[in-house]
Amino acid sequence: MLKLAKEVAIAAAYEAGKAIKERFGALSRIEEKDEHGDLVTEADTLAESIILAKIQGAFPEHRIRSEEFGDNENKSEWIWLVDPLDGTNNFAVGLPVFAVSVTLMHHSVPVLAVIYEPLTDRMYTVVEGEGAACNGKAIAMPAVKPLSKARVGWIQGHAVQNAEDAVRLRHYIDVSTKRMLRLWAPTLQWCMLARGDLDGIIVYNSDGEDLYSGLLLAQEAGAAIVDFEGNPFTGATSRPYLIASHPDHTGYFLTMVRTGMRQS
């Protein structure tokens, strides 16, 4: 089943990505969809319709939860999470940093994911227990190196905004690292971690359709994923507060987060 699911996910992401690329810089519709200023465009809805048609055609009994369409509420142990355009705000302002994200969960655990970056034609694929790949070539986090000033990705949920604890931690990380990166396209930060271009990622209460594809990719590339208490990631949670890094750096980032949370 996973072999077919992977083929379907790759085909869906590629076709959706092609449609998105054709509309980059040529949008006719941009709308705000919530009070936080998050956007939706015709590229989002077109890409989503392409992906949903592919999945529903192959697995009509599966549950699907998608960024714009919502939840089909099928009763199934399998659930697809679809973000047809991760980085819509970037896309809308002409910033070429966005991707398509498709994840398959089994009993709330990510088992397969595809992330496609259409402008660079990079297709990231991952199956639980089989490692991570980009365009068919295996990728893995490089050997651990000492950290004096880390490069860290920060991911927070839309509803977090400028919550006091989040601002405090965000500021501490910003001034304590070589660079804190916020891409507005979280899946691509996970790809950077998997390649070794980031040293760690801090997730502050960000639960969405784009979370688990990148998380599985990084995990299969060798990253350790723990919560803010140091407990290993075991499956989906409604309040993700997570740290991802090379296993040898987990203590380093746990100390950073705990110190930052205590700052007055």
Which residue ranges are tagged as binding site?
A: 67, 83, 85-86, 210
Per-residue burial over 152-174, b = 16 or more CB atoms within 10 Å of its CB, e = otherwise: bbbbbbeebeeeeebeebbebbe
Residues belonging to the binding site for Mg(2+) are 67, 83, 85-86, 210
Q: Is 130 exposed, middle or buried (0-12, 13-18, 19+ CB in 10 A)?
A: middle
Instruction: Identify whether the C-beta of residue 199 lies closer than 8 Å to the C-beta of residue 147.
Output: yes
The CA distance from 229 to 241, in Å, is 9
User: Token pair for residue 145?
Assistant: 């190196």
Give the closest residue to 68 by CA, choosing from 46, 37, 94: 46
